[in-house]
């Protein structure tokens, strides 16, 4: 737990914010910190910028025995009201409610506001009658925190590519806070990096791998490419971390689903710290895996499913290695053309001769059909898939008995091979 981070919250976020956005007498604020150690750290940091204060006499006019409440008053500026710090772990909710009703009124606490540090806001009247510091427009809202740290990054970090990495991290945490997945305290790793003036050697603090590439003078990406690289780094770290920290016995097998075998085995070695690898190691490994993986045909579908059109697909061979595919589109809509989608397990390339009728979109190949047989081959050598596709104006019932025993060729010939066990069609 970084003391500097909690001092940053107290001084650079809360106090500096209210120097420019002046609180008035009787202002009421709160923040909820459920974790005991973090709540204590915040209280300790606030005390460094506060003066000791014993609150008493808030039950004026009532015959109620009262002991003084020893706390602190946060000093923002000499001409601004101090904020009495109320901790629901050191005083009851009823007492803190009475304190809230006493500030800003004629009397000894007229020139004060209050800042509650709560362990929960469930059914708390303190929260419903006060302003949450993490709400929009207040000191600890993610957008304000991000903008403040961005300014500090420009001051403390000299390398442009490191700045872009840090901005990506900040904006990711901000989004996760908005989604309820992260909290204000997930900004903490940034403090150590700002203190060091560089991410080098500290990428793991951001739950990322070291990235030596960004320190190579020959590497000259644009801002978008650096953000995409940072996102890739974050994604790979999270994926590999889930496997290495998970319960799977064969971790190498899980890693080999996206990494090449050689690196996967290195990562799982007991003597190896998987966090010490460089991002480029994993990017190179993914590329090797993609090059050596078989091209697999996953599915064939109509690109736009609608009434009056059906797809019949028969094939021979193995879809995960080499296959011949015969597809008939039964189209009774009188449409001039139709599109189908060939889905593969990885991005593909097509022959230039097929490019006018085929369009590649990642792992999908979209084929535009007219009335002729369309034939193409996707893949190379013994890992290829041949396609013969024909659009016919006919009912699907025509193929009811032959859907698994027909083939096509480039000459628009449809051949039916009757299985030995079938006596008639």
Measured CA to CA, the distance from residue 307 to residue 273 in angstroms comes to: 57
Measured CA to CA, the distance from residue 237 to residue 259 in angstroms comes to: 13
Q: Which class for 364: exposed (0-12), middle (13-18), buried (19 or more C-beta within 10 A)?
A: middle
CATH number attached to the domain at 3-134: 3.40.50
Q: Where in the chain is the domain with CATH 3.40.50?
A: 3-134
**Which of 28, 215, 50, 213 shows the shortest CA–CA distance to 132?**
28
Q: Is the pLDDT of residue 425 over 60?
A: no
Is residue 30 within 8 Å of residue 116, measured between CB atoms? yes
50-80 pLDDT tens trace: 999 998 878 765 566 667 889 999 999 988 9
Which pLDDT score, from 0 to 100, does residue 288 have?
84
Q: Is the pLDDT of residue 122 over 70?
A: no
Q: What is the CA radius of gyration of the chain?
A: 33
Two tokens, residue 183 = 């909290």
Measured CA to CA, the distance from residue 104 to residue 81 in angstroms comes to: 9
> Which of the listed ranges 1-5, 310-314, 410-414 does the model predict with the highest average pLDDT?
310-314
* 54, 70, 319, 338 from 67: Cα distances, Å: 10, 9, 81, 84
pTM as predicted: 0.66
Question: Quick one: average pLDDT of 345-352?
Answer: 77
Q: Roughly how many angstroms between the first and final C-alpha of the chain, as a whole number?
A: 77
Long-range contacts of 348-352 (CB under 8 A, 24+ apart): 348/295, 348/378, 348/379, 349/378, 350/376, 350/378, 351/376, 351/377
Task: Provide the mean pLDDT of the chain.
Answer: 89
């Amino acid at each position: 737990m970084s003391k500097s981070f909690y001092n940053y919250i107290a001084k650079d976020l809360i106090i500096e914010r209210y120097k420019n956005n002046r609180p008035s007498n009787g202002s009421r604020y709160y923040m909820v910190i459920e974790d005991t150690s973090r709540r204590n750290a915040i209280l300790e940091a606030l005390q460094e910028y506060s003066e000791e204060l014993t609150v008493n006499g808030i039950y004026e006019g009532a015959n109620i025995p009262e002991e003084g409440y020893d706390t602190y008053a946060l000093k923002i500026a000499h001409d601004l009201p101090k904020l009495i710090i109320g901790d629901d772990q050191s005083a009851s909710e009823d007492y803190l409610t009475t304190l809230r009703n006493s500030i800003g009124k004629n009397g000894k606490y007229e020139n004060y506001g209050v800042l509650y540090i709560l362990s929960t806001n469930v059914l708390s009247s303190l929260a419903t009658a006060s302003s949450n510091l993490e709400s929009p427009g207040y000191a600890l809202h993610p957008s304000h925190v991000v903008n403040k740290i961005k300014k500090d990054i420009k001051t403390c970090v000299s390398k442009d590519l490191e700045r872009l990495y840090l901005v990506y991290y900040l904006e990711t945490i901000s989004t996760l806070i908005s989604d309820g997945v992260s909290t204000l305290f997930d900004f903490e790793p940034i403090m150590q990096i700002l203190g060091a003036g560089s991410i080098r050697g500290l990428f793991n603090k951001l739950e990322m791998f070291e990235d030596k590439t960004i320190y190579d003078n020959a590497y000259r990406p644009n801002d978008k490419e650096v953000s995409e690289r940072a996102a890739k780094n974050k994604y790979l770290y999270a994926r590999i971390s889930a496997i290495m920290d998970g319960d799977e016995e064969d971790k190498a097998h899980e890693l080999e689903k996206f990494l090449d075998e050689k690196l996967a085995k290195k990562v799982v070695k007991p003597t190896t710290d998987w966090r010490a690898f460089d991002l480029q190691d994993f990017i190179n490994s993914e590329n090797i895996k993609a090059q050596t993986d078989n091209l697999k045909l996953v599915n064939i579908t109509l690109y736009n499913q609608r009434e009056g059109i059906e797809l019949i697909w028969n094939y021979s061979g193995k879809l995960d290695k080499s296959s011949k595919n015969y597809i008939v589109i039964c189209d009774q809509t009188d449409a001039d053309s139709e599109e189908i989608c060939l889905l593969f397990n990885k991005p593909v390339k097509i022959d230039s001769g097929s490019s006018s009728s085929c369009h590649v979109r990642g792992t999908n190949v979209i084929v535009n059909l007219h009335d002729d047989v369309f034939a193409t081959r996707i893949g190379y050598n013994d890992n290829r898939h041949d396609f013969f596709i024909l659009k016919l104006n006919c009912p699907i019932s025509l193929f009811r008995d032959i859907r698994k025993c027909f083939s096509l060729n480039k000459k628009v010939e449809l051949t039916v091979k009757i299985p030995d066990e079938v006596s008639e069609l």
